[in-house]
């Protein structure tokens, strides 16, 4: 679906922005703006003439008012790690990058909260929480670059959603600049507030189409003092689910992450030269973490007992438990390398799908058969957050297929996979958002009543359609 073409920036507009931000914080010219206009997947190049880097909420507010008066569309951007083109800024728009708004405004240990500005990188928030003796549990492979604003705007997930929830669950309040330039103040850090519509939840996941998020109150958890990481082989997704069930039953809240990979996915790691601590020829693998805030809890013994039971019951075929935190990290490193390693095998056709956890085996067998029939020899390499029912269902080209020929099939492969997801009552966008990439898919699969309500909300809050126009909403 094409992004609307916008008229050129009006005369004098950049001078006005420069007076708001200071000339150093308004980037113009190819070399300065290029890094902000190239997305992670190099699929959605931007062409905005200027990148504004505000340093405070007041500056964001002044910027938004200036854009509103001049009729200039705004594209908010964080770490630019998004995978669906949401932060891609077309010609005639203004790219607003939040990276200068990177202060931790405060930590409240008694309230178990931390307040961070939108441009704070996730790893910085994790570190600040650790320094305060607490955990900020959101964790994903892009955590060294992704920013709180981008994570909120896409309601990011990652590996610990199973235990701690996604960004929505981890946020107690937000501050945002609305399309009219006014500031929405919501940083009270309340756990209870039934005073009407919850605008926090409306703006989380809105992908920059309703407001620019400027700060958030984030929920902290007790710091884990022990972690047990295990990598085990299973004969398929049904056995992985049986293991999930057993772990939930026996370990309860200690289970924080439960990731799944199939043999073809692990084969890529091995072919790329990475060692794998379990026989990589086995059919499928689960990587899971148990943690405890209690340093005395017999966590390792508990994990061993659960795995022995799973082994005796034929659920687990083989496996290893990390003997040190270094080994734990090495196993997670293998998992986090997967998106990078897949690039060695040519372009990818990616899907970020969710179905009810119980329906994962059905999804995998139906999608696997359909994709193999549609493109014989393609490499089907799913991996991801099985404990949440969310898989990154990725394909790489068959040997010898030209990249362009492979990518030309993207539309029909998407249709095959997404039709199966829809038939199973699932979602075509579990955690990466819709952006530019999945707008047409949203029109096809989203409940029409929900779509109408979304359009009505957008029109009410942003009648001039200046907040990230052309993204998310079909
Ligand atoms: C290797 C890799 C692994 C990843 N793994 C995961 C994963 O496990 N789970 C997951 O959920 N995601 C994952 N992602 C996707 C990505 O990191 C997330 O979508 C992240 O939330 C994007 O944050 P960002 O700061 O980079 O946002 P950007 O990419 O800059 O922007 C993303 C969207 O948010 C909007 N936005 C950004 N900042 C603001 C703001 N302040 N106010 C309003 N709107 C804003 C943008 O307009 C855009 O629509 C991964 C990405 C990579 C590259």
State whether the beta carbon of 154 lies less than 6 angstroms from ligand 1: yes
Q: Could you read off the pLDDT of 294-347 as tens digits, one per residue?
A: 999 999 999 999 999 999 999 999 999 999 999 999 999 999 999 999 999 999
Q: Which helix (H) or strand (E) holds 184?
A: strand 183-184
Q: Which residue bears the tokens 């939108």? A: 118
Q: Which CATH code for domain 346-433+442-450?
A: 3.30.70.2740
Q: Could you read off the pLDDT of 222-257 as tens digits, one per residue?
A: 999 999 999 999 999 999 999 999 999 999 999 999
User: Taking Cα atoms as reference points, which of 135, 139, 119 lies closest to residue 127?
Assistant: 135
Tell which atom from ligand 1 comes closest to the C-alpha of 212.
42
Tell which atom from ligand 1 comes closest to the C-alpha of 75.
47
Tell which atom from ligand 1 comes closest to the C-alpha of 97.
38
CA gap 300, 290 in Å, rounded = 9
Q: Could you read off the pLDDT of 135-152 as tens digits, one per residue?
A: 999 999 999 999 999 999
Residue among 35, 41, 64, 78 to mutate when testing ligand 1 (max atoms within 8 A of CB): 78
Predicted local confidence at residue 5, as pLDDT: 72
Q: Please report, rounded to a whole number, the percentage of residues in the chain having pLDDT higher than 90.
A: 98
User: What angle, rounded to 10 degrees, do the helices at 237-251 and 299-312 form?
Assistant: 140
Cross-strand partners of 174: 216
Residues of the chain with CATH 3.30.70.2740: 346-433+442-450
Spatial contact of 280 and 265, defined as CB atoms under 8 Å apart: no
pLDDT band per the 50, 70, 90 thresholds, residue 30:
confident
pLDDT surpasses 60 at 1? no
Spatial contact of 237 and 360, defined as CB atoms under 8 Å apart: yes
State whether the beta carbon of 89 lies less than 6 angstroms from ligand 1: no
The C-alpha angle with vertex 456 and arms to 450 and 462, in degrees rounded to 5, equals 130
State whether the beta carbon of 54 lies less than 6 angstroms from ligand 1: no
- The 3-state DSSP class for residue 228 equals strand
User: What angle, rounded to 10 degrees, do the helices at 57-70 and 13-21 form?
Assistant: 170
State whether the beta carbon of 27 lies less than 6 angstroms from ligand 1: no
State whether the beta carbon of 179 lies less than 6 angstroms from ligand 1: no
Return the residue whose CA atom lies nearest to atom 37 of ligand 1.
150
Measured in degrees and rounded to the nearest 5, phi and psi for residue 107 equal: -125, 135
pLDDT surpasses 60 at 2? no
Residues of the chain with CATH 3.30.43.10: 13-99
Using a 10 angstrom Cβ sphere, with 0-12 exposed, 13-18 middle and 19 or more buried, the burial of residue 240 is buried
Spatial contact of 319 and 306, defined as CB atoms under 8 Å apart: no
Q: Could you read off the pLDDT of 202-215 as tens digits, one per residue?
A: 999 999 999 999 99
CA gap 325, 151 in Å, rounded = 27
Strands 50-52 and 26-28: antiparallel
Torsion, CA 72, CA 75, CA 76, CA 80, rounded to 10? -150
Predicted local confidence at residue 231, as pLDDT: 98
CA of 466 to the centre of ligand 1 (A): 20
Using a 10 angstrom Cβ sphere, with 0-12 exposed, 13-18 middle and 19 or more buried, the burial of residue 162 is buried
- The 3-state DSSP class for residue 19 equals helix
Cβ neighbour number for residue 419 with a 10 Å cutoff: 16
3-state secondary structure labels for all residues of 235-261: CCHHHHHHHHHHHHHHHHHHEEEEEEE
Residues of the chain with CATH 3.30.70.2190: 226-344
DSSP category for residue 9: P
State whether the beta carbon of 46 lies less than 6 angstroms from ligand 1: no
pLDDT surpasses 70 at 174? yes
pLDDT surpasses 90 at 405? yes
- Cα dihedral sign, 68-59-150-456: negative
User: Taking Cα atoms as reference points, which of 213, 217, 88 lies closest to residue 149?
Assistant: 213
Q: Which fold has domain 13-99?
A: 3.30.43
Maximum separation of any 2 CA atoms in the chain, in Å: 74
Q: What is the mean pLDDT of residues 58-67?
A: 98
State whether the beta carbon of 151 lies less than 6 angstroms from ligand 1: yes
CA of 11 to the centre of ligand 1 (A): 32
Q: Which architecture does CATH list for 104-222?
A: 2-Layer Sandwich (3.30)
3-state secondary structure labels for all residues of 294-329: CCCCCHHHHHHHHHHHHHHCCCEEEEEECCCHHHHH
- Cα dihedral sign, 368-369-370-376: positive
- The 3-state DSSP class for residue 150 equals helix
State whether the beta carbon of 39 lies less than 6 angstroms from ligand 1: no
Using a 10 angstrom Cβ sphere, with 0-12 exposed, 13-18 middle and 19 or more buried, the burial of residue 370 is middle
Strands 94-97 and 50-52: parallel
pLDDT surpasses 80 at 26? yes
What's the mean pLDDT when you consider all of the chain?
97
pLDDT band per the 50, 70, 90 thresholds, residue 3:
low
Q: What is the mean pLDDT of residues 9-13?
A: 96
- The 3-state DSSP class for residue 166 equals coil
pLDDT surpasses 60 at 89? yes
Residues of the chain with CATH 3.30.465.10: 104-222
CA gap 266, 398 in Å, rounded = 17
Q: Which CATH code for domain 226-344?
A: 3.30.70.2190
Predicted local confidence at residue 191, as pLDDT: 96
CA of 80 to the centre of ligand 1 (A): 7
């Amino acid at each position: 679906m094409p992004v609307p073409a916008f008229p050129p920036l009006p005369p004098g507009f950049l001078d006005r922005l420069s007076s708001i931000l200071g000339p150093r914080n308004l980037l113009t010219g190819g070399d300065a703006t290029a890094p902000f206009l190239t997305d992670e997947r190099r699929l959605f190049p931007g062409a905005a003439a200027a990148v504004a880097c505000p340093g405070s909420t007041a500056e964001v507010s002044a910027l938004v008012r200036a854009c509103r008066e001049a009729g200039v569309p705004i594209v908010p951007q964080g770490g630019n790690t998004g995978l669906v083109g949401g932060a891609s800024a077309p010609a005639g728009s203004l790219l607003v990058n939040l990276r200068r708004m990177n202060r931790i405004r405060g930590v409240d240990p008694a309230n178990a909260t931390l307040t961070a500005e939108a441009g704070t990188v996730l790893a910085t928030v994790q570190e600040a929480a650790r320094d305060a003796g607490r955990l900020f549990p959101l964790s994903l492979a892009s955590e060294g670059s992704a920013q709180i604003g981008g994570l909120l705007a896409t309601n990011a997930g990652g590996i610990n959603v199973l235990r701690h929830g996604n960004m929505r669950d981890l946020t107690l309040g937000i501050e945002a600049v609305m399309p009219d330039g006014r500031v929405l103040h919501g940083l009270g850090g309340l756990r209870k507030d039934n005073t009407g519509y919850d605008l926090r939840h409306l703006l989380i996941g809105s992908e920059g189409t309703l407001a620019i998020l400027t700060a958030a109150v984030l929920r902290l958890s007790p710091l884990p003092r022990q972690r047990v990481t295990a990598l085990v082989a299973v004969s398929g997704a049904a056995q992985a689910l049986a293991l999930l069930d057993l772990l939930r039953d026996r370990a309860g809240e200690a289970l924080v992450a439960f990731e799944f990979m199939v043999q073809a996915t692990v084969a890529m790691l091995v072919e790329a030269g990475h060692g794998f601590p379990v026989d990589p020829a086995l059919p499928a693998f689960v990587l899971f973490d148990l943690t405890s805030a209690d340093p005395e809890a017999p966590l390792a013994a508990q994990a061993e007992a659960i795995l022995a039971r799973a082994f005796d019951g034929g659920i687990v075929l083989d496996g290893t438990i990390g003997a040190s935190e270094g080994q734990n990290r090495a196993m997670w490193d293998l998992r986090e390398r997967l998106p990078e390693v897949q690039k060695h095998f040519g372009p990818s056709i990616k899907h970020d799908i969710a179905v009810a956890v119980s329906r994962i085996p059905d999804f995998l067998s139906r999608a696997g058969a359909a994709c193999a029939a549609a493109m014989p020899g393609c490499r089907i390499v799913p991996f991801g957050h099985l404990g949440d029912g969310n898989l990154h269902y990725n394909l790489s080209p068959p040997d010898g297929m030209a990249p362009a020929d492979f990518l030309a099939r993207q539309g029909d492969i998407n249709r095959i996979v997404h039709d199966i997801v829809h038939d199973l009552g699932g979602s075509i966008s579990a955690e990466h958002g819709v952006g530019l990439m999945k707008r047409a898919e949203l029109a096809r699969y989203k409940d029409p009543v929900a779509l109408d309500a979304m359009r009505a909300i957008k029109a009410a809050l942003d009648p001039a359609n200046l907040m990230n126009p052309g993204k998310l909403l079909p």
